[in-house]
Amino acid sequence: MIKKKIRVGIVGGSMNNKWASQTHIPALLKHLNLDITAVGTSRMESARQSAEEVGAALAFDDSKKLAASEDVDMVVVSIKVPHHYEAVMAAVQERKHIFCEWPLGANTAEAAKMAKAAGLAGIHHTVGLQARQDLEVQTMKKLVEGGEIGEIISCHMQVATPGKGGQVNQDTAYLLNRANGANLLTINGGHSLDALQYIVGEFRELSAITSTRYNEATIQETGEVISKDTADQILIHGLLEKGVPVSVHIQGGVNSKFEIEIQGKKGILRLTQNLSLGHVQFGNLTLEKLVYDPSSTQSHGPNGSFEQISITREPNTSLDFPKQGVTLNVAKAHYVFAEDILTHTRLAPDFNHALKLHQLLDRIEESAATGKKNRMVR
């Protein structure tokens, strides 16, 4: 890495923000090329307190003022999805590099405007789809591409979370309002579908069914019952770009699970999550392989057992994090993005990539609404 500092301002950088304080902030503080110079929150008091705690000189209660600061080169947007657009466009206007959480926008129209504006501004931009930084995900991709289990026959993914069903807390109640753009499909589905496509290729065509089994939810702290207009059952089946059949089941308000199983002519690869919350981007994944015994008289029968794949992790003294987990994946995403900025490369998933993922989610909802098969637009 080049010995140069990138000055970072965090919109939503309050130490009370559970996501930013557990992911972005520790990742930035340990990065040799990134310095937190500004913290922005909704209240000046919390901004000043958080800035002092992380050693930042500047505090803001306005994302536009943070983006306009001469002491900020890069803006991290880590706030609720409905507010992404304003914060991102403020940074674009000031021609600051941007790391924005996923989903990029509250809808595809917002994402399209942000992608276009960022492209015209000539800045570096990335979206927080950090599951692709997980070493197990990367290893599964390499094994698929290297023919470890032969030609792929089919692929199945299951994503399940206790959240986004009939129980909710006050902080996450907004996830049950479809207009906010943050829900089971966009968050759990978006991260998982991005990881799936990263490993085995993009969708060529799909059909989908969505269902809302919980029309109301109870806020745990108060007992208040609120309405819910987001789907908690999402089923997708289709073909990937090489004709591989794929099925996906995403569900909320149920017991947690995450699994991708890829069937090949020579064996099976299986990716599961330990102590899952239905969020692949949180890491803590286990990769297993079953290879068929070519001497068996059974054809592709249960003639073997799954074995965990041992993955060698290269030591990195500047990444003093647990071997797995969400903080490590976010830290790795920051490393890729910082290197893009410093070496003028474009390896991190950018706003255009985010726009394509938004469009995929639109095709899923459109198919569910019309009952028709959708082909992807290339």
DSSP state string for 153-168: EEEEEEEEESSSSSEE
Q: Which one-letter amino acid corresponds to residue 365?
A: E
Helices (H), ranges, the chain: 18-22, 24-29, 44-54, 63-68, 84-93, 108-121, 135-145, 190-200, 326-343, 351-370
Q: Is the pLDDT of residue 295 over 80?
A: no
Residue 300 has pLDDT above 60, yes or no: no
| Least confident residue range of 84-93, 98-107, 148-157, 287-296 | 287-296
Q: What is the pLDDT of residue 322?
A: 64
- Whether the pTM exceeds 0.85: the reply is yes
Bigger pLDDT: 276 or 87? 87
Which DSSP state fits 132?
Answer: G
Q: Give the whole-angstrom CA distance, residue 38 versus residue 60.
A: 7
Q: Is the peptide bond before 245 cis (omega within 30 degrees of 0)?
A: no
Amino acid code (one letter) for 186: T
pLDDT in tens, 191-210: 999 999 999 999 999 999 99
Please provide residue 346's backbone torsions phi and psi, each rounded to the nearest 5 degrees: -140, 65
Cβ atoms of residues 81 and 181 within 8 Å? yes
Whether the pLDDT of residue 211 is over 70: the answer is: yes
User: pLDDT averaged over the chain?
Assistant: 93
Per-residue pLDDT reduced to its tens digit, 359-370: 999 999 999 999
| pLDDT at position 288 over 50 | yes
Tell me if the bond preceding 103 is cis, omega within 30° of 0: yes
- Among positive and negative, which fits the CA dihedral 123, 128, 133, 137? negative
Nearest to 250 by CA among 197, 179, 183, 173: 183
Q: What is the pLDDT of residues 29-81, one digit of tens each?
A: 999 999 999 999 999 999 999 999 999 999 999 999 999 999 999 999 999 99
Q: Give the mean model confidence (pLDDT) for residues 209-235.
A: 96
Predicted local distance difference test score (pLDDT) of residue 1: 52
Query: By CB neighbour count within 10 A (0-12 exposed, 13-18 middle, 19+ buried), where does 302 fall?
Result: exposed
Please name the helix (run of DSSP H) or strand (run of DSSP E) that holds residue 172, with its range, or none.
Answer: none
Instruction: Give CA angle at 305 (302, 311), nearest 5°.
Output: 140
Residue of higher predicted confidence among 152 and 296: 152
Q: Give the three-class secondary structure for 216.
A: strand
Look up residue 223 and give its DSSP letter: -
CA pair distance 212, 166, nearest whole angstrom: 10
Residue 317 has pLDDT above 50, yes or no: no
Amino acid type, 359: Q
| Side-chain half-sphere exposure of 222, counting CA atoms within 13 A | 9
Give the mean model confidence (pLDDT) for residues 242-249.
Answer: 96
Average pLDDT over residues 143-152: 97
CB atoms within 10 A of CB 191: 25
* Dist. CA 183–CA 110, nearest whole Å: 16
Q: Residues 6 or more apart from 323 whose CB is under 8 A from it?
A: 313
Confirm if 292 and 298 have CB atoms less than 8 A apart.
Answer: no
Residue reference for tokens 């906010």: 180
- Structure-block tokens of residue 152: 């792929």
Q: Which of 274-278, 282-286, 339-343 has the lowest mean pLDDT?
A: 274-278
Q: Is 279 helix (H, G, I), strand (E, B) or coil?
A: coil
